[in-house]
């Protein structure tokens, strides 16, 4: 079994030790690691491996022999892996070497349990829907989709923008705001939540449309079915604005035509049996910490 490993980089010596422990456990259980080359080159001198591992550099290097991809870092690192996985149906394992770790929910202290779960197939794969962007100009290369959210945003310090928004061609609202977020259920606990959006269960068939700093306080987030196509027309004093898919960004003109819809394929996130969405909510959002309840 081949398992790919991706990370943006590790600097803390303790994290390097945890990485070495992960590699040792995989090797002991006859699970073959394939490490992201730039990441491996940044830490190989500190790993002291007996033999160099296989590496990968691009999505094309991940073939049908790769059974899982492990993300070492926080949620931002895990979102990077979407560009490597694409539609290959390779499940992602998020080990939290970062801070909050909403998506990367497996603690680094659980490496032994994770490897055992992979070996004995005692894990669960959650299928997560994604958002796909259609545009009349090429945007985001061959990865025009996101796991968390699509956003439109004013550029730099420019004035607020008007975003005329339509559902299946029918007018919904004009958002006069700094920007607009269309999040998946997975992304509902990210940027959308920080802008006042609701928490949505990952298996809900919906999008959340959340304005960013709206001018009108009665404009609230709205949940819509994910079988709708959401399209936009943008006005503003500036001729350019920002368009993002997760952490990837493009600058586009106001004449561009944009629409988002549900992606035709899903992404698989591996979780160990005892870790579920409610467990993550309580642990990461500190629900129940007030003992007076």
**Which positions are annotated as active-site residues?**
75
Is residue 270 classed as helix, strand or coil in its secondary structure? Answer: strand
Residues whose CB is less than 8 angstroms from the CB of residue 56 and which lie 6 or more positions away in sequence, other chains included = 4, 34, 35, 36, 37, 62, 84
Give how far the C-alpha of residue 254 lies from the chain's centroid of Cα atoms, to the nearest Å.
27
Q: What is the DSSP string of 70-88?
A: EEEESHHHHHHTHHHHTTS
Q: Quick one: 182 exposed, middle or buried, by C-beta within 10 A (0-12, 13-18, 19+)?
A: buried
Whole-number Å distance between alpha carbons of 151 and 268 = 23
Given a contact cutoff of 8 angstroms between Cβ atoms, the answer to whether 252 and 233 are in contact is no
């Amino acid at each position: 079994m081949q398992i790919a490993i991706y990370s943006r980089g590790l600097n803390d010596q303790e994290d390097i030790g945890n990485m070495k422990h992960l590699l040792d456990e995989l090797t002991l259980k006859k699970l073959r690691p394939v490490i992201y080359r730039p990441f491996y080159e940044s830490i190989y001198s500190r790993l002291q491996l007996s033999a160099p591992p296989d590496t990968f550099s691009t999505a094309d290097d991940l073939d049908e022999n790769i059974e899982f991809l492990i993300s070492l870092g926080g949620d931002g690192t895990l979102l990077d892996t979407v560009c490597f996985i694409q539609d290959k149906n390779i499940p992602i394992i998020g080990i939290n070497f970062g801070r909050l770790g909403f998506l990367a929910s497996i603690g680094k202290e659980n490496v032994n349990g994770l490897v055992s779960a992979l070996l004995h197939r005692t894990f669960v794969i959650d299928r997560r829907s994604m958002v796909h962007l259609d545009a009349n100009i090429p945007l985001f290369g061959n990865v025009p989709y996101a796991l968390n959210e699509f956003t439109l945003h004013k550029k730099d310090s420019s004035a607020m923008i008007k975003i005329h928004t339509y559902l299946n061609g029918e007018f919904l609202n004009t958002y006069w705001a700094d920007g607009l977020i269309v999040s998946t259920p997975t992304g509902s606990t990210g940027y959308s939540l920080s802008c006042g959006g609701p928490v949505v269960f990952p298996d809900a068939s919906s999008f959340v449309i959340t304005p960013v700093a709206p001018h009108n306080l009665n404009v609230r987030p709205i949940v819509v079915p994910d079988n709708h196509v959401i399209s936009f027309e943008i006005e503003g004093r500036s001729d350019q604005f920002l368009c993002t898919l997760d952490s990837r960004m493009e600058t586009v003109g106001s004449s561009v035509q944009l629409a988002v819809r549900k992606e035709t394929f899903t992404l698989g996130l591996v979780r160990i049996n005892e870790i579920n969405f409610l467990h993550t909510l309580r642990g990461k959002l500190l629900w129940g910490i007030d003992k007076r309840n």
